Chains A and B, each alone.
Chain A
Amino acid sequence: MRAEQNQSHGWRTKIAAGLVAAATLFTGIAHAGPTLDKIKQRGTIKVGVGTSPGFFAPDGSGKWQGFFVEFGRALAITVFNDPDKVEFTSSSPQQRLPALQSGEFDILLSGVTVTITRAFKLGFHFGPTIFYDGQGLLVNKSLGVTKGSDLDGATIGVQSGTTGELNIADFFRKSGHKFTPVTIEDSNEFLKALESGRVDALTQDASDLALRRTLLKNPDDYILLPERLSKEPLAPAIAAGDDRWLEIVNWTVNATIQAEEFGITKDNIDTFLTSEDPAIKRFLGTDPSLGEAIGLDPKFAYNIVKTLGNYGEIFERTIGKGSPVGFERGYNQPWTQGGLLYSPPFR
């Protein structure tokens, strides 16, 4: 489209376009969406994920399942209208950001915490937060501890290469107490350390701790303290410099959140097709003017919800009460129900 317009404007525009293209090559700042071009040419989206039960794990037949995985499928629906045109690769915390930078992945859906350093210095862009987490402390009940500051002098297990390592140090520096950190690499060893009494407490994202607590031999001997040491907003991350791709990510996530706010689910979505509410007509694409204006399939939101369900359905199915993981929604509810999920308007 753009190229045709340029041709009709003569040689001046051609030179200008050439300069812009050259500048794009050198700076990596693009307007046309090179990532999307690459994805369309390849025919699949390359997504980096982690390995954590409920969030991302292959099932018995080798198909990736989990909360973050579903958002990868949602992206494939936005781009290709096909939830299977996406390729998941697991990536360790130490390796995932360089791999994104080198173009190995188009997007990371591996539970990356949004931080200012990552945004400014490392050159990443973050989509909307899709899971609000916070660092928690899992302690042995026999210690009689009710809050983090009671743990003066305790031995605390942390997992290496995570923000948890830094947060716990900050927490104790602030309270003026002392603790002995034990850095543990392997997530299975992590739990064993608490069970064997090698550490008094474990610190890690609360969702992860809640899940691992159920794996302990006597889960009732341990308590996840209600206190949160940090904010851990987990969001999709892409390499900086591709605004169009970022917007596709943003609005794919927003579509699932907005659907829940509207009360639109996988099962009842077709009853909304006859709705006269202009907001719902724009959202579902029954009024196609919006989709045409932004250059996406007007029905992308409909397709996502019809295939995968809204945010709440995805949550319940993968990590919520409807799954073996069994998380509470907590902050991860629409703002209308006291949570933090808030989609900007589709107009």
Chain B
Amino acid sequence: MTALFYTGSVRPASSAHWQKWRDGLFGTRLNIFITLATAGFLLWTIPPLFRWILLDATWTGSAKDCAASTGACWAFIGAKIRFILFALYPPELDWRPALTIGLIALLLVITGTPRFWSRHLVLLWIGTVVTVWILMAGTLIGPSVPTGRWGGLALTLLISVVGFACAFPIAVLLALARRSKMAGLRTVSIIFIEVVRGVPMIAILYVAMLLVPMMLPGLSPDAFVRAQIGLTLFVSAYLAEVVRAGLQSVADGQAEAAASLGFGYWTTLRLIILPQALRSVIPALVNLAIGILLNSTLIAVIGIFDLLNAAKNAANDPVWLGFYDESYVFVGVIYFALCYSASRYSLWLERHLRAAK
């Protein structure tokens, strides 16, 4: 592509390439200084890190073998990977959280493929959310597992996906209400959105954990469900603003044209407005999804073993005491892989949609 518009010098491409690098790195005195400082910093930090991660690391064995070496103890991850991924879930039923992770991954891949975009996606989401919930709880299919024992990567994915899925319809309604001509509806929506966005998520979690059972003694749902509802409400306020931005991007003429063809409010919304509105805010939605995934680590404050909290507690086991660095590095890589692939996907999709237009 770029070759078509290339109007530079006739110097061979490789040489021009080198020239650009040399100017960038050593062009001015300031650039030379920055380059040397950066190189010095990398030389100072990378080799010890490399030694810690690879050369001096212990790959198999027990905590005693690890204590004898100065490198990372990856044997710890080997011994604890089950706990980090599934936490307190009964080990004999490990296939359930494993299948949950698989189903959620499949759901995300299908949702991310433009070829599958249709109204069936809504059914797929409802179906998957219900399935994974039943799978984890074990209702109907065998020994039931209380929510207090759910945990690890399975829980982190579950709470994020369920939160996003349940927040979506609420967010659409809030966004519509905020643009509504009915003053009462509009006020309620504005108050909800602004109040929720005006407090930190931890505050909402504490309300869900501590105040709700006091207000509804004996009637309040279990702790995990309350946390899930708290997260859902929190997400819905942010999501509502994203959806509203999408609605605003659809020209008024679209709705007017639909009205002139005799379409009602909901039909217009479903067939004309929402598909265009949502398509235009996909990057913002992906961004928000990353935010939810990272925010979900806050539920550790109410004693739930999400991925991060499970990693922390893995190193609290007296047999494998103190391998916090390894544990955090490991889950750090998982979080990074999830978030980085989501952001790369978002970039790809933007290009893809632009090309499709």
Contact = CB atoms under 8 A, between A and B. Distances in A.
B102 interface: no
Interface in A52-96: 52-54, 57-65, 87, 89-92, 95
Q: Is the interface of B mostly helix, strand, loop or mixed?
A: helix
A95 B209 contact: yes
A246 interface: no
B317 A58 contact: yes
Contacts of B146: 87
A54 B318 contact: yes
Interface in B69-108: 79-80, 82-83, 86-91
B355 to A, nearest CB: 47
Contacts of B83: 58-62
Contacts of A65: 317-318
Interface in B40-90: 63, 79-80, 82-83, 86-90
A95 B319 contact: no
A57 B318 contact: yes
Nearest to A318: B318
A58 B313 contact: yes
B24 interface: no
Interface stretch (A97-105, A174-182, A197-205, A271-279): A97-105
Nearest to A44: B146
A101 B217 CA distance: 11
Interface in A28-49: 48
Given A51-B312, A60-B79, 18 more contacts: A53-B318, A53-B321, A57-B317, A58-B87, A58-B317, A59-B317, A60-B82, A62-B86, A62-B90, A62-B149, A64-B88, A87-B148, A95-B209, A95-B303, A103-B218, A104-B223, A188-B324, A324-B321
A172 to B, nearest CB: 30
A188 B148 CA distance: 25
Interface in B121-166: 146, 148-149, 151
A109 interface: no
A90 B304 CA distance: 7
Contacts of A3: none
A325 B318 CA distance: 6
A55 to B, nearest CB: 10
Nearest to B80: A60
Interface of A: 48, 51-54, 57-65, 87, 89-92, 95, 98-99, 101-104, 188, 211, 214-215, 323-325
A339 B278 CA distance: 69
Interface in B179-225: 206, 209-210, 213-214, 217-218, 223
A95 B138 CA distance: 29
A53 B148 contact: no
B275 interface: no
B318 A102 contact: no
Nearest to B86: A62
30 contacts: A52-B316, A53-B321, A54-B318, A58-B87, A59-B317, A60-B80, A60-B82, A60-B83, A62-B86, A62-B88, A87-B146, A87-B148, A89-B148, A89-B223, A90-B303, A91-B302, A91-B303, A95-B209, A95-B210, A95-B301, A95-B302, A101-B214, A102-B214, A102-B217, A103-B213, A103-B217, A104-B209, A188-B312, A215-B322, A324-B319
Interface of B: 63, 79-80, 82-83, 86-91, 146, 148-149, 151, 206, 209-210, 213-214, 217-218, 223, 301-303, 305, 312-313, 316-319, 321-322, 324
Contacts of A48: 303
Q: Is the interface of A mostly helix, strand, loop or mixed?
A: loop
B1 to A, nearest CB: 50
B322 A59 contact: no
A104 B319 contact: no
B210 A62 contact: no
A198 B253 CA distance: 64
Contacts of A58: 83, 87-88, 305, 313, 317
* Interface hub of B80, B82, B316, B324 (most chain A Cβ within 10 A): B316
B329 to A, nearest CB: 13
Contacts of A101: 214
A51 B223 contact: no
A60 B318 CA distance: 11
Contacts of B90: 62
Nearest to A38: B218
A243 B270 CA distance: 60
A309 B289 CA distance: 50
B317 A62 contact: no
Contacts of B88: 58, 62-64
A342 B78 CA distance: 44
B319 to A, nearest CB: 6
B91 A61 contact: yes
Contacts of A62: 83, 86-91, 149, 151
A26 B217 CA distance: 13
Contacts of A63: 88
A52 B146 CA distance: 23
B235 to A, nearest CB: 22
Contacts of A53: 316-318, 321
A130 B200 CA distance: 38
A58 B313 CA distance: 7
Nearest to A326: B318
* Interface hub of B91, B206, B322 (most chain A Cβ within 10 A): B322
A58 to B, nearest CB: 6
A92 B79 contact: no
A92 B91 contact: no
A234 B209 CA distance: 25
Nearest to B302: A95
B91 A57 contact: no
User: Nearest 3 A-B pairs (CB), nearest first?
Assistant: A62-B88, A102-B213, A215-B322
Given A103-B217, A325-B318, A57 B210 contact: no
